Amino acid sequence: MPILRLLVLLGERMIHMSVRRTIQLTAEGVSRLQAELQQLEHSLLPELKQRIQQATEDGDVNDNTEFDDLKEEFMQTEARIRDIEQTLERAEGIA
């Protein structure tokens, strides 16, 4: 078996294994993540969308560092939302 194919197979197996792995969280930990998720989805993300829309309506965004910063914050917020969702999906409650 060629080494590249072996590495691809091992990589696929590692990805598959990491998806199935459970994460142990207390009830308080789950609650904190759920609260953070709510805040991000229903407060911060809509605010960032509105600010990005306003920045695009205000003019040229090609060399606008504020616009670039908003886009970066938006992407980081979306990534954090995905991370929390995945954590909660794999969460296993502990006492």
Token digits for 27?
A: 């009830």
How far, in Å, CA of 89 to CA of 77, rounded?
A: 18
Note the pLDDT tens digit of each residue in 20-75.
688 999 999 999 999 999 999 999 999 999 999 988 887 767 778 888 899 999 99
pLDDT of residue 8: 54
**The pLDDT of residue 1 is above 70:** no
Token digits for 88?
A: 């909660």
**The pLDDT of residue 15 is above 60:** no
